[in-house]
Every structure is written in structure tokens, then in C-alpha cells.
């Protein structure tokens, strides 16, 4: 089940790998913050945090627990975001994160630029999906 996390339903992530205080801080300091969580058997196994900014959206963080990777759950989360966001979406990904790059390309993201040393010395790739 994929749901949008809000201040009102923050209890949905209790006892998960997510940090409640960090997420509350994001909601307080980022008026554009949106978070989708993927729950299975009442356990959070993944989340996608993005900013829905006026004319575009930007993926800030996207994580699926290691034991649930490479079985389509991350793609389901990403597709849910694509259903609810009707504008261009950008993200940065580590150049060496091949599985993530393949996932993003599989749903229509394209590489736009290289950001030299963006991740503590490792290059980042700016990707975009146009709507």
C-alpha cells in the first residue's frame, strides 16, 4: 500500500527505519515537501520524498529497504509519484548507482547533465522527466 505521509498521519511511520523528527522538521521547513511511503503488512519498506515546487517537482530522497530492493517495489513508489505529479520532475543520482539509474530510465527519465563531485567527490547525474 502506498500512502502520502502528512503531519496528521505521521504515526504511520512509527517503528520504521524513518526518523520521525527529521520528517517533521522537513514538513516544518519545506512548504513544498511531499512524502510517499510504501507499507507492506503495516511495515514501512520504502519512501519517496520530493518537493512539489510551482512549475516542477524534485526528488530529494528515495529509499527502499535493502531486503525489498530489485523486486519492483521502488518502481511502484516511483510510478505512484508520476501519477500524482503532473509536471516536469528532476533528480540527482550518484553516477555509480547503476540500479537507480536503470530504474529512472525505465520510467522515462533522461540524463541532462553531470554534476562534478556532487556527492563528496563522486559525480552526480542530473536527470529529468518531462510531462
Strands (E), the chain: 2-5, 33-40, 43-53, 56-64, 88-94, 110-119, 122-129
Return the pLDDT at 30. Answer: 86
What is the reported pTM? 0.86
The domains of the chain are located at 1-86, 90-131
Looking at domain 1-86, does it have CATH number 3.30.365.10?
no
Looking at the chain, list the stretches that DSSP marks H as alpha helix, in order from N- to C-terminal side.
20-29, 73-84, 98-106
Give the pLDDT means over successive 10-residue stretches in the chain (131 positions).
Answer: 82 74 83 90 89 93 88 92 94 94 95 90 94 84
Amino acid at each position: 500500500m502506498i500512502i502520502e505521509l502528512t503531519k496528521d498521519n505521521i504515526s504511520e511511520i512509527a517503528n520504521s527505519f524513518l526518523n520521525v523528527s527529521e520528517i517533521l522538521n522537513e514538513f516544518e521547513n519545506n512548504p513544498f515537501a511531499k512524502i510517499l511511503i510504501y507499507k507492506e503488512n503495516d511495515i514501512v519498506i520504502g519512501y519517496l520524498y520530493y518537493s512539489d515546487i510551482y512549475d516542477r517537482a524534485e526528488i530529494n530522497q528515495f529509499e527502499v529497504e535493502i531486503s525489498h530492493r530489485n523486486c519492483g517495489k521502488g518502481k511502484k513508489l516511483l510510478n505512484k509519484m508520476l501519477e500524482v505529479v503532473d509536471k516536469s520532475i528532476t533528480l540527482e543520482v550518484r553516477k555509480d548507482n547503476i540500479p537507480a539509474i536503470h530504474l529512472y530510465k525505465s520510467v522515462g527519465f533522461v540524463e541532462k547533465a553531470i554534476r562534478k563531485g556532487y556527492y563528496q567527490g563522486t559525480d552526480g547525474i542530473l536527470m529529468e522527466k518531462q510531462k
